[in-house]
Amino acid sequence: MFTDKSIPFRFILGGASTAALYALIIIVSAEVLKLPPSVAAGISYVIAVIYNYVFHYYLTYRTDRPHRSSAPRYILLVAALFLANVGATALIPNYFDIGYGIVQVALGLLFATATFFGQLLWSFARTTPRS
pLDDT in tens, 92-110: 988 998 888 898 889 889 9
Neighbours of 7 (CB within 10 A): 20
The whole-number pLDDT of residue 99 equals 86
The runs of H, that is alpha helices, within the chain are: 7-27, 37-55, 67-96, 100-118
pTM for this model (two decimals): 0.87
First to last CA, the chain: 15
pLDDT in tens, 57-96: 999 999 999 999 999 999 999 999 999 988 888 889 889 9
| DSSP symbol at 98 | -
* Residue 31: exposure state from Cβ atoms within 10 A (0-12, 13-18, ≥19): exposed
* Beta carbons within 8 Å of 115's beta carbon, 6+ residues apart: 77, 81
Average pLDDT, the chain: 92
> Does residue 1 have a pLDDT over 60?
no
What whole-number distance in Å separates Cα of residue 76 and Cα of residue 85?
14
